[in-house]
Amino acid sequence: MSLGFVPTMGALHQGHLSLLKKSRSQNELSLCSIFINPTQFNNKADLKNYPSRLKEDIKLLGAAGCDVVFTPPVSEIYPGGLPSEEYDFGQLDKVMEGVQRPGHFNGVAMVVARFFEIIQPQRAYFGEKDYQQLAIIRSLAAQKFKNIEIVSCPTLREKSGLAMSSRNLLLNERYQIAAQRIYQRLLSVKKRAKNANVAELELWVANEFKKDGDLVLEYFEIVDAKSLKKSTGWSDFPEHVACLAVFAGTTRLIDNILLKIN
């Protein structure tokens, strides 16, 4: 019997449910975990403020046909206390989120590895909004879990274009409106990429955010869609991905867009 696994940290939205839908279409049974993993938060306030809505989440999953919901306590996932395992992802965690959130991907890998060991799914589902995380998980699976197929699922967006994220719950009305500009700028990047080089685009994005009263850009990088190595020109790689992290007030949001230039 095939088992599909959808790992989440709760505060579920349609994006999560689209992963479950995909899992249900490919497996006989689907399991969703809800676990706010302390080892992937490099910032204590971020962990404390992370939205939690367990009751509503369980209802949503039931209505969406999830077979099993796994909501373990921290002591079940890390019975010996928080571990200090170190993973090697080469270049993949040396850029973008890896630089801004030291230890984050090691914590993600730790918890996903633990889940893979406990649940032993045939397939596991991850969203493309967390593009770098997806690359890390593919590398983890290639290193330690060759039997588990990693299935990527497209980013779901609000009508406004804002990428669905549990963190959107933390945005007040002012920042909800401001956050819509993130994807609009990524779409402009894609359009402008036909007539501009990488450095020009990076400068354009930096300037747009400098002029923005409500959004603060943490990083914007154009990298190889596979290795995540920094792109210096369009001919460097067959496909690039433009990724950014932005603060809307105190809420940190990430998004990305694929760029196929040639």
DSSP state of 129: T
Q: What would the two tokens of residue 122 be?
A: 């045939």
Strands (E), 211-259: 215-224, 240-248, 251-259
Task: Give the DSSP H/E element, type plus range, for residue 77.
Answer: helix 74-77
Residue among 3, 4, 8, 255 that touches ligand PAF (CB under 6 A): 8
- State which of positions 116-145 bind ligand PAF (CB under 6 A): 130, 133
* CB < 8 Å & 24+ apart, contacts of 177-180: 178/212, 178/214, 178/215, 178/248, 179/215, 179/246, 179/248, 179/253
98 part of the interface to ligand PAF, by CB under 6 A? no
Residue among 23, 30, 40, 168 that touches ligand PAF (CB under 6 A): 40
Residue among 108, 153, 201, 248 that touches ligand PAF (CB under 6 A): 108
Instruction: Report which residue type is found at 60.
Output: L
7 vs 121, beta carbon nearer ligand PAF: 7
155 part of the interface to ligand PAF, by CB under 6 A? no
Distance in angstroms (rounded) separating the CA atoms of residues 57 and 28: 22
Which window, 4-12, 91-99, 146-154, 212-220, contacts ligand PAF (CB under 6 A)? 4-12
> Which position's Cβ is nearest ligand PAF?
7
- Residue 104 falls in the annotated catalytic set: no
Residue among 20, 111, 163, 254 that touches ligand PAF (CB under 6 A): 111
Nearest to 39 by CA among 130, 109, 122: 109
Q: What would the two tokens of residue 93 be?
A: 């965690």
Task: Give the DSSP H/E element, type plus range, for residue 190.
Answer: helix 173-192
Q: What angle do CA 167, 155, 246 make, to 5 degrees?
A: 45
112 vs 201, beta carbon nearer ligand PAF: 112
Which window, 1-9, 17-25, 49-57, 94-102, contacts ligand PAF (CB under 6 A)? 1-9
Residue among 3, 5, 7, 109 that touches ligand PAF (CB under 6 A): 7
**Would you tell me which residues interact with ligand PAF (CB under 6 A)?**
7-9, 37, 40, 108, 111-112, 130, 133
Which residues are annotated as catalytic?
A: 16
